[in-house]
Amino acid sequence: MKYAYYPGCSIKGTGRAYEESLLPVLKALDVEFEEIDDWNCCGATAYMAVDEIKSCVLASRNLALAEKGGYSEMMAPCSACYLVLNKAQRYIETSGPVADTVKKALGAINLKITKKIKVRHPLDILLNDVGLDRIKQKVKRPLTGLKVATYYGCQIVRPYSTFDDQYNPTSMDKLIKALGATVVNFPLKTRCCGGSLTGTLPEPGLLCAYILLKEAMKRGADVISTACSLCQFNLDGYQDKIAKKWEPVQVPALYFTQLMGLAFGFSEEEMGLHRCIVPFSLENVLNKEAVAS
Amino acid sequence: MQELVRTIKYEADRVPGFGKEIMQVPGCENLQSCIQCGTCSGMCPLSIYMDYTPRQIIELVRSDFKNEVLKSYTIWLCASCYVCTVECPREVPITDIMYELKQRAIYEGYYPKRFQIPVLANQFFKMVYKHGRVTENFLVTEMLLKSNWKDIFRSWKLGLKLLARGRFPLKTENVEKKEEVRKMLDVVDRVSIDTLAGISHTGNGKKH
C-alpha cells in the first residue's frame, strides 16, 4: 500500500519538525508514501467560519488530486486537515447540494471525485497497518525511564472516531509504551489546547494550554507527546507568557514521531529537536531519572 | 454588598424567523431537539469566558434573539474542539451551529470591528484565495495589523524564537496552479448553499 501524503500548511512552517521526524520514521518502517502534487490548504477551522461550502471545495481538490494519482488512501498528519478532509467527505456524502457544488467546482478545473479516498492519521497507519510488533523490532534505544503524557488533542477523535475511542483514545499510549517509555495517567488527553485562540485572544487561549501543562507536571511527566502541529505550538511556544500570567511551567512538548525517531536511533538533530522552544534532551532526562531512583 | 444586575430581554427585540432560518441550514436541523440540559456548557473549556454559554446560545437562536446571538463573543470563542457535539445527549451538532452563526455574523457585518478572531478568519480566507496555501506567521502578522497592531510588539519575542529555530518562514507558501484554486472558489460564489437548499435568505458566504 502506497499512501498519498497530504502535509498541510503548518507542517511546512511552524510545525516542520513534525514532517522532519515523521518521514524518516515511516521510511525506517518501510511505509511507502508520496506527497500529493500541488496540494492546497484544507481550509482548517478559520475557513469554516467564513464559508463552509468553500471549505469543502478546497478540501475536495486534494481528495481529487489523490484520486487522479491512483491512490486509495491518504495520510494527513495535522489534526485540523485530518478532520476537515473527513468532514468534507461526509458533507459530500450526505448533502446533495454540497455534492453538486463540489462537482461543479472540480469540473471547472477538470478534476472529479468518483470514489472515497480513505483519509487516515499516521497514528492509525502506524498502529493498524504497520503494527506494534514491527515498531518494537525497530527500537534500538528503548526510552526506558522516560515518563510521557500522551496528548491527542481534540480533532483526531472528535467529532468522528475513525480509529480510536472518542472519550479515551489509547493508540498513542500503546505506541509510546512500545518504545519502552512509561505513559503517565493523563485524563486531559483530548481537552482543547486553545486552538488558534492563543494567537487571537491570549487570555482564554493561554489558559487552555496552561491547564494542560500544569496537569502534565502534576502527573510527573518528563515530556508531552503531541500529534498535531497546532497543539505542539501552543504547548511549546507560550510557556514564558504563561509564567508571566500565572506561574512558571516547564514541560517540553514533542511530536510522538520525534520520540519514535529517538527510540529508533536517529539523532536529536535529525528529529528536529533543535526546533523546540522548551528544550528537550533525552539523555539529560534519563540521567536525572536514574539519579532520582 | 455587590450589586446584582440583570439584563432584561424584551419580546419586541426578537427577529421573528431567525431561529427557523438557522434550523433550515443543512446540519442545523437538530437544534429543535435541545432539552437545555447544559452538558455543552459544562464541558466547554471556554464557556467561562463567554457572554452567553453554549446552552444559552441555542435557546436564544430558537427564540429568535438574532442581535444578541450574532453580536455575542461566544460564537467567536468556540475553538471547535467538538466536545459539546460529542457529549450532547440529543445529538445537536453545536460546533457546526457555531460555525453557521459565525458565517452569518461575518456576512451581515455583526461582529465587533477590529475583533481579532473574525479578522483572522477573513485574512485566512483572502490568503488562501491569493496563494492557495497559508503561511501562518504572515497570517498572524496581517491579523495583528488589521486588529490591534500594537500587539505586534507583544509578539516579537516569540517571532524571534521561531525565526532562530527555522520555524518562521520568510517566504509565502504557494500552490503552483493558483488559478485552479481561484476558479473553484469562484464557481461556489455563483451557487450559494442556502439558495440551493431552497431558503430565500442568502447569508451564507455569497459576498466577500
Return the ∠ at Cα A63 (arms to A75 and A104), rounded to 5°.
170
Distance CA B68, CA B59 (A): 11
What pLDDT does residue B145 have? 87
Nearest of A63, A58, A70, A57 to residue A99 by alpha carbon: A57
Please indicate if any CB of chain B lies within 8 Å of the CB of A13.
Answer: yes
Residues of B in contact with A98 (CB under 8 A): 26, 193
The dihedral over CA atoms of A274, A280, A284, A286, expressed in degrees to the nearest 10, equals -130
Cβ–Cβ below 8 Å for A50 and B187? no
Cβ contacts below 8 Å, chain A against chain B, sum to 202
- Number of helices followed by number of strands (H, E) in chain B: 12, 0
- Identify the DSSP state of B64: T
**Is a pLDDT exceeding 50 seen at residue B199?**
no
A97 touches B196 (CB < 8 A): yes
Please indicate if any CB of chain B lies within 8 Å of the CB of A42.
Answer: no
**Is a pLDDT exceeding 50 seen at residue A205?**
yes
C-alpha cell at A191: 481537552
Alpha helices per DSSP H over chain A: 16-28, 44-50, 52-68, 79-94, 96-107, 122-124, 132-138, 171-178, 197-200, 202-218, 229-237, 239-245, 256-263, 282-292
Interface test with A, best of B111, B129, B188 (most A CBs within 10 A): B188
Residues of B in contact with A41 (CB under 8 A): 128, 132-134
Q: What is the mean pLDDT of residues B56-82?
A: 95
Please give the radius of gyration of chain B, using alpha carbons only, rounded to the nearest integer.
20
Instruction: Give the DSSP H or E segment for B60.
Output: helix B54-62
Q: What is the pLDDT of residues B86-138, one digit of tens each?
A: 999 999 999 999 999 999 998 898 887 788 888 888 888 899 999 999 998 88
Distance CA A200, CA A208 (A): 13
Which residues face A118 on adjacent strands? A73
- Identify the DSSP state of B114: T
Alpha helices per DSSP H over A113-201: 122-124, 132-138, 171-178, 197-200
Distance CA B46, CA B79 (A): 8
**Is a pLDDT exceeding 90 seen at residue B16?**
yes
Q: How confident is the model at residue B181 (pLDDT cuts 50, 70, 90)?
A: very high
HSE toward the beta carbon, residue A290, CA cutoff 13 A: 8
Q: What is the pLDDT of residues A172-204, one digit of tens each?
A: 999 999 999 999 999 999 999 999 999 888 899
Residues of A in contact with B133 (CB under 8 A): 9, 12, 40-41
Residues 232-271 of A with CB under 8 A from B: 237-238, 240-241
Q: Within 10 Å of residue A95's Cβ, how many Cβ atoms? A: 19
For chain A, the average pLDDT equals 95
Please indicate if any CB of chain B lies within 8 Å of the CB of A174.
Answer: no
C-alpha cell at B157: 519575542
What pLDDT does residue B204 have? 39
**What's the ipTM?**
0.92
Among A239-248, A265-274, B44-53, B137-146, whose mean pLDDT is lowest? B137-146
Grid cell 472516531 — which residue? A161
**Is a pLDDT exceeding 90 seen at residue B198?**
no
- Identify the DSSP state of A181: P
Torsion-angle region of residue A41: left (phi > 0), alpha (psi -120 to 50) or beta?
A: beta
Q: What is the mean pLDDT of residues A251-267?
A: 98
Q: What percent of chain A has pLDDT above 70?
A: 100
Distance CA B151, CA B132 (A): 27
Q: How confident is the model at residue B148 (pLDDT cuts 50, 70, 90)?
A: confident
* Closest approach of A11 to chain B, Cα-based (Å): 10
HSE toward the beta carbon, residue A246, CA cutoff 13 A: 16
Of A49, A194, A238, the CB nearest to B99: A49
What pLDDT does residue B195 have? 53
